[in-house]
Every structure is written in C-alpha cells, then in structure tokens.
C-alpha cells in the first residue's frame, strides 16, 4: 500500500478513523529521514490493514507544532483515534515491526480507561 500524505486539512480525518495509522514526521533535507523512508515503505507493503502516512514538517509546520515534534524523523502510532506511541529517531526495521505488533496487541478498552483516569 502506498503511503498517504497528511496535511492540516486531512490529518484529523485520517487519524480519527478506526484501526492503526503510523505517521512518519520527516523533511526532505533530513539525512536520517531519508534512511528511514525505505524501512517505512517496506513495512507499508507488508501491512495492508494499516494506514502508513507521512507529514512533511517543512510543508506542514502547524502539525509539527501541534504535536510537539522537535526532532525528525518521529514515528507516531495512532490506534482508533488515540496516540499510543510517539518516538523520535530512525527505527531499524525489526524495531518498527515490533512497534506494529505491540500496537496491534493493545487492549484499547484498557488504554481508554487509563487515559480517562
């Protein structure tokens, strides 16, 4: 599956959908971002049930500000409209796959209950 480009206009619509959305905050000039891009793309081709999305931090500075992105690349995982993971740094493929499996395994009722307390 191809990655989706997220903008201020479509971010909430994509992020609030049911299921898992992985967001790569990146920039064209960023070396680690360029090294992480093929890892992200390979993972996208393996997981048809997950939305893989990218935010160009130069083109969408308001999204970077909204989510407090201070370092790129930053990977954010959203499940059922809730941010469940966010970490800066170019992840190796094995770590990205581990993050995906952990996000899949979350008990979202428990996550919501903890978020409310």
* 30 flagged as catalytic: yes
* 20 flagged as catalytic: no
Which H or E element spans position 114? helix 108-116
Strand order in the sheet with 20-26: 4-5, 50-56, 20-26, 74-79, 82-88
d(CA 41, CA 67): 23
Which H or E element spans position 117? none
Catalytic option among 6, 23, 33, 53: 33
Catalytic option among 6, 21, 30, 91: 30
Tell me which residues are annotated as active site: 30, 33
């Amino acid at each position: 599956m191809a990655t989706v480009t997220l903008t201020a206009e479509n971010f909430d619509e994509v992020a609030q959908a049911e299921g898992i959305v992985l967001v790569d905050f990146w920039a064209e000039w960023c070396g680690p971002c360029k090294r992480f891009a093929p890892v992200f793309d390979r993972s996208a081709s393996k997981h048809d049930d997950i939305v893989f999305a990218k935010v160009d931090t130069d083109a969408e500075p308001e999204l970077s500000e909204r989510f407090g992105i201070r370092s790129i690349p930053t990977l954010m995982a959203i499940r059922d409209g809730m941010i469940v993971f966010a970490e800066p740094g170019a992840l190796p493929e094995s770590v990205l796959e581990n993050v995906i499996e952990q996000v899949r395994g979350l008990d979202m009722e428990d996550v919501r209950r903890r978020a409310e307390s």
